[in-house]
Amino acid sequence: MPQEHYDVAIIGAGPGGYVAAIRAAQKGFKTICIDKWVNKQNQSTLGGTCLNVGCIPSKALLDSSEVYAKLKSIGEHGIQVENIQVDIEKMMARKDKIVSSLTKGIESLFKANQVVWRSGQAKLVSPTEIKISSETITASHIILAPGSLPISIPHLSFDDKTIVDSTGALEFPNLPKKLGIIGAGFIGLELGSVWNRLGSEVTILEAQAEFLPMVDRQLADIAYKEFTKQGIRILLGTQVVKASSTKTGVQVLYQKGQKEEKLEVDKLVVAAGRRPYSEHIAESTSGLKIDKKGFIEVDQHCRTSLPNVYAIGDVVRGPMLAHKASEEAIAVIDTLTTGHGHVNYSAIPSVVYTHPEIAWVGKREEELKLEGIEYKVGTFPFAANGRAKAMNESVGLVKILGDKTTDKLLGLHVIGPFASELVHQGVIAMEFGASVEDLQLIIFAHPTLSEAVHEAALSADERAIHRVNKGLGVRG
Ligand code: FAD
Ligand code: NAI
């Protein structure tokens, strides 16, 4: 049988791979996308980690649990709701329905764009060949997008019932009374919030002494206070060394300083980070370079060590985020079609979807200090924002960092209501090379949360209206 030949072949159909496939097909390339994902109903599905067990199901549960938490405090609005109950089975079914409709949506997009979808495990054999089971296909250009997997901790094995990874924590059939989580990162805090809101006693064990080191300190401190107030126990500087299932749950052993301590929980979620999933992506004879940590080596255009072979998403350097994977996908196809593809790695937004949400783009104050960049800071608290007050959401602030000499916007950090949406004002501004003054001169509708961005920009030059400015002679 003659080998099938494609212009573009992609391994992996997560937000990296499926976006690359659609864009390649839109550009007229004969495109195939191969993925081995099989869901719990034993069906092959598209969408990878993000759609099946990541971004989407976690946000579905975050929203459901948030509605529940809000209803419990709705009395302040003068609304009486009695006998509020949670039906976890129904909540999970809603989440599964959302996942299914979105993964089916990608299927339709593949059909509409004439992307060939092949289910199965694929392996790069050479710069032009991919093996899928016993079949080999050839392609002029190959894109590797195999994603990542949860890191496992030595002396601690998953049993898929009591000791689970994030996927298991999205599937608990009932409420764990005591829930332990290893890692106070993105997953630990988001899934910890879900189960805490639903009524679990959540303890998060975090090895690092500093809480959320990737977040601007001022915001991280507010977050720590808020999460603790919500009843999430966060034990910093605690390194989990062992955990084992017992008759009643899980016993966790952790090191705190010189001391070894124990924690008994009903379920334990391991959210200790993710690692690139590269071990089965290529034959060792293919010549593909993979670094010591398992990342496929690429240059700034996602070109691997092999000609016409690209790698994108979680399997290459940079943040493990869906939108970063998708942007790399677009950039690679742009490179194939025009010779120029580009990802602005300095303007990738990050969001932790807790309550309050935390979102940022650009540099943190600590980074600017380390880099010796002279900067100015403007902050504005949601407590002084009319819309936030009307929403009963006055915790948090917007923080803007600008270059002291050039006035260029260097970072926008938000903790508070709809931070995940507000941060994009900073992303757009930074992409357009805006100055802090540009943000000051724009008209923002009243009353909106966005006004806090405006006021934070004004505050950087001590010109905020709805707060007392520090200095004198503030007229600009
Ligand atoms: P993946 O989505 O992991 O897709 C890789 C695909 O490749 C998989 O479908 C896999 O089956 C397939 N594959 C691998 N090897 C082979 C092979 N040899 N042959 C065939 N197929 C193969 N990011 C955000 O930006 N926002 C969020 O809110 C967010 N929430 C998350 C919540 C959780 C619980 C988790 C776990 C992750 C979350 N992420 C989030 C991270 C996000 O899911 C990843 O950054 C994103 O999925 C990476 O996309 P990717 O295409 O590189 O890989
Ligand atoms: P993470 O890197 O965000 O956090 C892992 C935490 O576990 C770290 O703080 C680490 O110090 C801690 N840890 C590691 N080993 C430990 C041990 N033995 N004992 C105690 N603590 C230990 O990783 P996480 O939360 O697993 O998420 C993986 C990635 O997935 C994220 O980095 C992010 O890129 C992506 N993600 C993004 C989300 C978003 O955009 N909202 C949501 C969820 C995941």
Distance 280 CA to ligand 2 centre (A): 23
What are the CA-CA distances from residue 457 to residues 396, 403, 415, 423, 431 (Å)?
A: 16, 12, 16, 13, 17
Ligand 2 atom with the shortest distance to the CA of 321: 34
Mean of pLDDT values over 58-82: 95
Question: How far apart, in whole angstroms, are the C-alpha atoms of residue 118 and residue 44?
Answer: 9
Question: Ligand 2 site: residues with CB under 6 angstroms?
Answer: 153, 182-188, 190, 205-208, 239-240, 271-274, 319-321, 351-353
| pLDDT of the residue at 1 | 61
CATH label, 163-272, candidates 3.30.830.10, 3.30.429.10, 3.50.50.60, 3.40.630.10:
3.50.50.60
Tell me which architecture the domain covering 5-149+275-343 has in CATH. Answer: 3-Layer(bba) Sandwich (3.50)
Q: Does any ligand 1 atom lie closer than 6 A to the CB of residue 378?
A: no
Q: Does any ligand 1 atom lie closer than 6 A to the CB of residue 145?
A: yes
Q: Is 301 a catalytic residue?
A: no
Nearest residue CA, atom 15 of ligand 1?
Answer: 146
Distance 408 CA to ligand 1 centre (A): 34
Residue 290 has pLDDT above 50, yes or no: yes
SS3 call for 27: coil
| pLDDT of the residue at 471 | 59
pLDDT in tens, 452-467: 999 999 999 999 999 8
| pLDDT of the residue at 475 | 43
Domain parsing of the chain, residue ranges: 5-149+275-343, 163-272, 350-475
Tell me the chain's radius of gyration from C-alpha atoms. 24
132: tokens are: 């899928």
User: Which residue intervals of 1-82 are DSSP H helices?
Assistant: 17-26, 48-53, 55-72
| pLDDT of the residue at 154 | 87
Mean of pLDDT values over 36-40: 96
pLDDT in tens, 196-212: 999 999 999 999 999 99
pLDDT in tens, 233-263: 999 999 999 999 999 999 999 999 999 999 9
Strand partners, 360: 350, 413
Share of the chain above pLDDT 90, in %: 94
Ligand with the closest atom to the CA of 56: 1
Report DSSP state, residue 345: G
Ligand with the closest atom to the CA of 20: 1
Confidence bin at 384 (pLDDT 50/70/90):
very high
pLDDT in tens, 148-169: 999 999 888 888 799 999 999 9
Beta-strand pair 357-362/409-416: antiparallel
Pick the catalytic residue from 342, 424, 446, 454.
446
Whether cis (ω within 30° of 0) applies to the bond prior to 15 is: no
Distance 314 CA to ligand 1 centre (A): 7
Average pLDDT, the chain: 96
216: tokens are: 């601007």
The answer to whether residues 394 and 382 touch, using CB atoms and an 8 Å cutoff, is yes
Confidence bin at 474 (pLDDT 50/70/90):
very low
| pLDDT of the residue at 251 | 96
The answer to whether residues 243 and 156 touch, using CB atoms and an 8 Å cutoff, is yes
- Report the half-sphere exposure of 68 (CA within 13 A, side-chain side): 20
Share of the chain above pLDDT 70, in %: 98
Phi, psi of 422 (to 5 degrees): -60, -35
SS3 call for 260: strand
Residues 6+ apart with CB under 8 A from 125: 131, 136, 282, 283, 286
Confidence bin at 476 (pLDDT 50/70/90):
very low
| pLDDT of the residue at 212 | 98
Ligand with the closest atom to the CA of 170: 1
Residue 295 has pLDDT above 60, yes or no: yes
Q: What is the pTM of this model?
A: 0.97
Report DSSP state, residue 239: E
What are the CA-CA distances from residue 108 to residues 45, 103, 117, 262, 313 (Å)?
A: 12, 9, 11, 50, 23
49, 103, 279: residue to mutate for ligand 1 pocket, most atoms within 8 A of CB: 49
Residue 289 has pLDDT above 70, yes or no: yes
| pLDDT of the residue at 320 | 98
Whether CATH 3.30.390.30 fits 350-475: yes
Q: Locate tokens 């299914």: which residue?
A: 100
pLDDT in tens, 389-431: 999 999 999 999 999 999 999 999 999 999 999 999 999 999 9
Distance 271 CA to ligand 2 centre (A): 6
Residue 8 has pLDDT above 50, yes or no: yes
pLDDT in tens, 323-340: 999 999 999 999 999 999
Residue 138 has pLDDT above 90, yes or no: yes
List, in sequence order, every beta strand (DSSP E) within 266-408. 267-270, 274-276, 309-311, 350-352, 357-362, 375-381, 397-403
Distance 335 CA to ligand 2 centre (A): 32
Torsion of CA 162, 166, 171, 175, to 10 degrees: 60
CB-count burial class (<10 Å; 0-12, 13-18, 19+) for 335: middle
Residue 76 has pLDDT above 80, yes or no: yes
163-272 shares its CATH topology with 350-475: no
